[in-house]
Structure 1
Amino acid sequence: MPHEFTLRHRVEFADTDMAGIIHFSSYFRYMEVTEHAFIRSLGFSVADRDSGIGWPRVDVGCSFRSPLRFEDELDVRLVVTAKKSKSLSYAFHITKVGTEPLLEVATGRMTVVCVAMDHETGTMKAARIPEALAAQLEVAPELGEAP
């Protein structure tokens, strides 16, 4: 069962700041795009309009260690760190491609909550993770369940 997923990205010019290095906010987009690709790889979407299920973020963070620049390639490795009945938590390990030894440029975290959308009122309410998805997810073995 999946507990880890990696996606390669390239730093685009629009992702950089006036100093020519990646803007800090770009890391959050890379983490989110990687999460979406992970969920798609399992046959689901984070925005399933038919079921009304959504996944708002309730906690995110990122620590930066080394800058990236325009056209650098990076791998974002997502690791499932916790799976509860209504939420998932991920750790992200972001490394620069082509470095020897491997250079970890940033680490991140994200917790998402499964919600059911009421289309009439526009409100969200925490909901159990759909069983078909939950059955395909496991917490990384070395991490165990979060408290």
Structure 2
Amino acid sequence: MNHRFHTTKRVEFSDTDMAGIVHFSNYFRYMEIAEHDFFRSLGLSVVMDHEGNTISWPRVKCSFEYKQPIRFEQIIDIYIDIEHIGKKSLKYVAYLKHNEQIMAIGHSTIVCCSYDKDGLKSIEIPQHFRECFSQ
């Protein structure tokens, strides 16, 4: 299943090191920003109430493959493709591009959880969310 979502991000000076290159940790922030934008585009949030429960999507696995350095003030196109919708988890890939060139590829696995004062508990992805992801 493929669901392509697109957003953009301008690289801020605070995202870079002394050479003006984006610090590796910020790639994960960019992927998370795109994930939040993706959920919002579907009328969802990564933390929201659903049928009396608070639903959240913690990460259980994240990685990046760095292809080219991203630099200060570049406009980055970030694409999200859903790779797999499981019973309780969602896997997606994020492509960070500049001028149509792939700069980095990130992978993330997030798990649908209910949480309250006693903590997190993984749950099946609610049907409403499945329908939104399958649009």
TM-score after normalising by structure 1: 0.85
What secondary structure does 2:48 align onto? Answer: coil
Q: For residue 9 of structure 1, what is the aligned residue in structure 2?
A: 9
Q: For residue 116 of structure 2, what is the aligned residue in structure 1?
A: 118
| CA deviation vs aligned residue, 1:20-78 (integer Å, no higher than 9, x gap) | 11111111001001011111111111011563111100000001111111100010100
Deviation at 1:80, TM superposition (A): 0.1
Give, as a single letter, the amino acid of the residue that structure 1 aligns with 2:92.
Answer: Y
Q: For residue 133 of structure 2, what is the aligned residue in structure 1?
A: 137
Per residue, is there more strand in 1 or in 2?
2
Q: State which of 92, 103, 111 in structure 2 corresponds to 1:105.
A: 103
| CA deviation vs aligned residue, 1:66-113 (integer Å, no higher than 9, x gap) | 1111100010100000001210000111110xx3xx211100100000
CA distance in 2, matches of 1:64, 1:112: 21
Please show how residues 69-88 of structure 1 align to structure 2 within 5 Å.
69-88=71-90
Matched, 1:47 2:50: no
State whether residues 2 and 81 of structure 2, in contact with CA within 8 Å, keep that contact through their aligned partners in structure 1: no
What secondary structure does 1:28 align onto? Answer: helix
State whether residues 80 and 138 of structure 1, in contact with CA within 8 Å, keep that contact through their aligned partners in structure 2: no
What secondary structure does 2:114 align onto? Answer: strand
CA distance in 2, matches of 1:59, 1:4: 20
Give, as a single letter, the amino acid of the residue that structure 2 aligns with 1:116.
Answer: S
Deviation at 1:130, TM superposition (A): 1.7
What secondary structure does 1:52 align onto? Answer: strand
Deviation at 1:8, TM superposition (A): 0.6
Q: For residue 142 of structure 1, what is the aligned residue in structure 2?
A: none
